[in-house]
Amino acid sequence: MNLLSSDGKLILLHRGLKSLPRASRYDFVLSPQFYISKRESLPVKYAFQAKKLAPSILEDILPTDYNYEYVVEKDGDGWMFFAYAPKEIEDFLKVCCSKSPEKIGKIYFADQLAKVLKKVPLGIDEQNALTLIDNKATIVPRSMIDGDKFAKLSSKLRPKIGYRFRTSSKGSSDSKLSKEVIVLSSLIALLALAFIFDGLNYKKAIAKERDKLSVILEESPALASKLTRDSIKSKYQNIENRERKIRNLLNKYSKLTSKKSILDKLEISGDKLIAQFNVVPNEISRVESIAKSDNLKVSRVNNSLLRVEGSIR
């Protein structure tokens, strides 16, 4: 399955065609039965200019039964003009092979095979063959051709330039999507939807997380603001730190008291909690070492008085 290739199965389209092999798309080499061509030397440089002139150049030789599409091709110092009737081709394919115009990919003209036909005629069926007469591709009975060597149309003989088939209806063949592409695109779209669903779930999860915060903030709406929160936190954290230190120091000082070490004085002075202990002289070193091990600042006032300081900042 080649989804992106524009090449279809190459078939020579002629009036004797009875059926077509199975394929998703066909590229047709039109036999002269389906188009009219004319070589003309014109003083125009570009194909689009030549194409504009095509209707007037072919006007006299075209039957009026159909609407025609025109194709021009540079041919040496002149231009080859081709005209085909899409409706005629569509009708023929419908009758002979029950194929819809959507199946038609590119079209080629038998005259584009001139180089091949110069060497060897192309067999069409058992009676007829395609050959060059006066440098124009023509269908003739096989019996009229000398020799019995006939080429068979294959992809090797595909002309270099192909033309998009213009259907008689509004949409072109390219406007139709192939089933494979529809299926593959649908699968990709489904996968994409799965990712979107996944993304939406993440989005929902974010919303749930935010809801959790909202529920907590309902109790204290003021704390929704980071600034207010920081201000309140800073205020109470300072109190918390100071008071915890005071209580911690009181706890440490209580460890220093005993029958031989009595609290003499305790006070908060600035950023310090100072305590003075009256200690029995032979105990003073022990109390001092306990205080020091608790990271307290210790100083001896005299032989029995020990001053202990702790920071509450």
Q: Report how far apart the first and last C-alpha atoms of the chain are (Å, whole number).
A: 81
With CB under 8 A as the contact rule, the residue among 74, 94, 149, 265 that binds other proteins is 265
Instruction: Find the binder of other proteins among 133, 161, 191, 301 (CB under 8 A).
Output: 191
Sheet of 122-123, strands arranged across: 122-123, 128-133, 136-141
Q: Are 308 and 274 in contact (CB under 8 A)?
A: yes
Strand 78-84 versus strand 26-30 pairing type: unpaired
Which residues within the stretch 19-48 sit at the binding site for other proteins (CB under 8 A)? none
Burial environment of residue 101 by CB neighbours within 10 A (0 to 12, 13 to 18, 19 or more): buried
Between residues 125 and 240, which has the closer beta carbon with respect to other proteins?
240
Q: Which of 36, 114, 263, 280 binds other proteins (CB under 8 A)?
A: 263
Instruction: Kindly indicate which of the ranges 48-56, 115-123, 132-140, 219-227 contains the residues binding other proteins, using the contact rule CB under 8 A.
Output: 219-227
CB of 41 or CB of 214, closer to other proteins:
214
Please identify, among the stretches 60-68, 117-125, 151-159, 209-217, the one whose residues bind other proteins according to the rule CB under 8 A.
209-217
| 41, 169, 220, 289: which one binds other proteins (CB under 8 A) | 220
Provide the mask over 223-252, with x wherever binding to other proteins is found by CB under 8 A and - wherever it is not: x-----x--xx--xx-xx-xx--xx--x--
Residues in the chain: 313
Give all strands (DSSP E) within the chain, no chain letters: 9-13, 26-30, 35-40, 69-75, 78-84, 104-109, 122-123, 128-133, 136-141, 163-164, 261-269, 272-279, 297-300, 305-311
Q: Tokens 């005259």 — which residue?
A: 111
The answer to whether 23 touches 158, Cβ cutoff 8 Å, is no
Minimum separation from the CB atom of position 15 to other proteins (A): 31
Shortest Cβ 85–other proteins spacing (Å): 24
Minimum separation from the CB atom of position 104 to other proteins (A): 14
CB atoms closer than 10 angstroms to residue 90: 18
Q: Work out whether 144 is an interface residue with other proteins (CB under 8 A).
A: no
Which residues share a beta bridge with 70? 83
Quick one: residue 113, left, alpha or beta (phi over 0 = left, psi -120 to 50 = alpha)?
alpha
Mask for 84-123, x = binds other proteins (CB under 8 A):
----------------------------------------
Instruction: Name the minimum Å distance from CB 306 to other proteins.
Output: 14
Which region, judged by CB under 8 A, interacts with other proteins, from 56-64, 112-120, 141-149, 178-186? Answer: 178-186
Chain Cα centroid distance, residue 162: 31
Choose one: 83-91, 106-114, 256-264, 282-290; the region binding other proteins (CB under 8 A): 256-264
For other proteins, which residue of 47, 61, 133, 206 counts as binding (CB under 8 A)? 206
* CA 162 – CA 158 distance, rounded (Å): 9
Structure tokens, 242? 């100071």
Q: Considering the complex, what minimum distance in angstroms separates the CB of residue 231 from other proteins?
A: 10
Determine the Cα–Cα distance for residues 160 and 265; give it in Å rounded to an integer: 112
Answer whether 177's CB lies under 8 Å from 100's CB: no
Which chain residues interact with other proteins by CB under 8 A? 3-4, 6, 174-178, 181-182, 184-186, 188-189, 191-193, 195-196, 198-200, 202-203, 205-206, 209-210, 212-213, 216-217, 219-220, 223, 229, 232-233, 236-237, 239-240, 242-243, 246-247, 250, 254, 262-268, 273, 278
